[in-house]
Amino acid sequence: MYVIPEPSKQLLTDMMAFTAAQIAQLVEGTVEGNPMASVHAFGKIEEASPGQLSFLANPKYEEYFYSTNASVIIVNESFQPRQKKETTLIRVPNAYLAFATLLSKYQELVQQQLTGIEQPSFVATTAALGSEIYLGAFSYVGKCAQIGDQTKIYPNCYIGDEVVIGKRCVLHPGVKIYHQCVLGNDVIVHAGTVLGSDGFGFAPQPDGSFTKVPQIGNVVVEDQVEIGANTTIDRATIGSTIIRRGAKLDNLIQVAHNVEIGSNTVVAAQAGISGSTKVGKGVMIGGQAGIIGHISLGDGAKVNAQSGVIKSLDPGKAVYGTPAYDYTQFLRSQVISRKLPELEKRIQELEKIISDLKSNG
């Protein structure tokens, strides 16, 4: 097992010193205890030490609340300890969300320290770079590309010709964005992801071979989208493959050409969405789900993990299975399936009774 050396481990958790009162102001919480209690690092509640800030949101972790050494703990307003503990609490409506907010602010502070262009790297003379950007070593920025203010591009990234990237975006190491793709503001793309590679378009020929159909469209990613590691989003054959505002895509997802994913939709790892499918707003797609092409998923639809969707779904519809069908019916089927041995036994008993009746008839 690899152990993080202590100096490096400290870099992962250190932050500027803040008091409980200052933190409460950031998360709009109420201090219970010492408002001047100071913390300089984050820690998990089960292993936090003095000087660290932790949180309790999941009731399964309540046992650690009574043994943790954290100096300050963020808890839900409704939390009532079973026993007294001399630790400063910050009460908020949603402890998980409040802690996530603090981590985001801390990450922003860290990223703001990264500016400038590292060498070796290549930037075309016709590219337009905004202010306070960071371009990591071994990165490439193509002709007429545009990169917005405060965007961070980590090492080994490829930004193709005429690509447009908005403000405050983050491209993690090894991201590849093909020519003419467009990213909005506050977009996060994780390592190894490819945006704008060719869609899977091939025309069958009489002799059984396939002729490639040129893919001349692009990919458009709107504001506040996050895309996980090693995900691939194909460029459109004509027009655009579109990821709407606020959508969240996990790792290892395949989005095919001319797909449109609606705003605030979430897609879990290893899902695949085939060409020209339209996914509505607020849709939830579970891991390893497969969705065929040229269908639509209505707003708020839910596709459970490992489902195979072969027809369009109405808004709010929840499905499961392959082929996917109504989730409520699936649950009923599962109940019946568990009773099959008992039902078989009852059928055999009935058959015996019928047989005896016939024999005595």
pLDDT tens figures, 156-199 = 999 999 999 999 999 999 999 999 999 999 999 999 999 999 99
Q: Which residue in 37, 2, 5, 3 sits closest to 19, CA to CA?
A: 37
Residue 332: per-residue pLDDT:
80
Per annotation, catalytic residue among 40, 172, 179, 257: 257
Q: Tell me the residue type at 338.
A: R
How far apart (Å, rounded) are the C-alpha atoms in residues 182 and 174?
Answer: 18
What's the predicted TM-score (pTM) here? 0.79
Domain boundaries, the chain: 6-112, 116-328, 329-360
Q: What is the pLDDT of residues 114-168, one digit of tens each?
A: 899 999 999 999 999 999 999 999 999 999 999 999 999 999 999 999 999 999 9
Quick count: other Cβ atoms within 10 Å of Cβ 64?
17
Q: Which residue in 149, 178, 176, 148 sits closest to 161, CA to CA?
A: 178
| Topology (CATH level 3) of domain 116-328 | UDP N-Acetylglucosamine Acyltransferase; domain 1 (2.160.10)
Return the exposure string of 212-243: e unless at least 16 CB atoms fall within 10 Å of the residue's CB, then b.
eeebebbbbbbbbbbbbbebbbbbbbeebbbb
Residue 257 known to be catalytic: yes
Q: What is the pLDDT of residues 281-314, one digit of tens each?
A: 999 999 999 999 999 999 999 999 999 999 999 9
What are the backbone angles phi and psi of residue 40, rounded to the nearest 5°? -135, 5
Q: Count of alpha carbons within 13 Å of 342, Cβ hemisphere only?
A: 5
Q: Identify the DSSP state of 344.
A: H
Residues 6 or more apart in contact with residue 324 via CB below 8 angstroms: 303, 304, 307, 308, 309, 310
Whether the per-residue pLDDT at 8 is higher than 50: the answer is: no
Q: How sure is the predictor about 330, in pLDDT bands with cuts at 50, 70 and 90?
A: confident
6-112: CATH class: alpha beta
Q: Identify the DSSP state of 277.
A: -
